[in-house]
Amino acid sequence: MARLCEGRVAIVTGAGRGIGREHALSLARHGAKVVVNDLGGDVNGEGGDLSPAQTVVEEIIAMGGEAVVNGDNVADFDGAGRLIAQAIDTFGDLHAVVNNAGILRDRMLVNMTEAEWDAVINVHLKGTFAPARHAVGFWRDRSKAGDAVSGRIINTSSVSGIYGNPGQTNYGAAKAGIAAFTVIAALEMARYGVTVNAVAPVALTRMTENLGPAPETPEEADMRSPRWIAPIVTWLASEESSGVTGRVFEASGEFLAVAEGWVRGPSTSPIDDPEALGPIVETLMAKARLNSGMNGVPGGPPQPQAGG
């Protein structure tokens, strides 16, 4: 029996460690040829080391798969173009781009620097746009040439972005932007045979190990393993997912869920007198659901504050 992603070509950014590593290995186990992209920097985005990505490539080759390393910066538009070109030049095609690369510069808003804001927005938001832009250009040209296209963009959002977490205005804004990018790009790219989805993962990695208490039992550690995120990403990269686009999936060792986006809540006729709005807004607020906490439940608790 053919594997889920047999013969498909996939790129995974930030694939040297953590969640990205699990994505790359899972895609390879299911038959994909994988470009393993990673600069090899620390969680702040500083430094560089291609050896983690090379190790993942060696693991894939050892299991009988095909993979190559890419060390381009996905937040650099030309670098992202080289990444897409490498996949096509090496394996002859491209079917899926998993935008996973990310960094953290957590800080309360009152203390956040411009550099901390810019770095996080650049890596997450531009680092999603740039590879996606080059990939969809390739797929659009293929579609216009009359070729059948089965393209997949799979982005990485976060519960910090779609629900909100104190201490992460930069990271949360980027991740909320990625969720919106996903919805809009899905609408634009459907005509070309391309789906665009996102995952909002919850897992214990280098980026999250200081944001909460450490696991106390092996069972808890397994529940927080990044391995639980890879199955939905692998499925979304496959041919089977062609009917699913524009959605954000929450994934963890506790559950798999579809995150539902903004909806219009209680409403009233327009008011042209601001002095009359007090009791009207009070009535609307009484009818409206509370914002969801980090657990996805309206009125639920936020996570402990990150940063200083």
Ranges of residues in the chain with a pLDDT under 50 are: 209, 304-308
Q: How far apart are CA 158 and CA 8, in angstroms?
A: 27
Burial label for 173, CB within 10 Å (0-12, 13-18, 19+), is middle
State the Rg of the chain over Cα. Answer: 20
Query: Active site includes 171?
Result: yes
What's the pLDDT at 305?
Answer: 45
What's the pLDDT at 222?
Answer: 66
What's the pLDDT at 306?
Answer: 41
Q: How far apart are CA 189 and CA 171, in angstroms?
A: 26
Q: How far apart are CA 201 and CA 192, in angstroms?
A: 28
Active-site annotation holder among 139, 163, 171, 181: 171
What's the pLDDT at 308?
Answer: 35
Residue entry with tokens 């060390």: 71
Domains and CATH numbers, the chain: 9-259 (3.40.50.720)
What's the pLDDT at 42?
Answer: 56
Angle at 170 between CA 220 and CA 103, to 5 degrees: 55
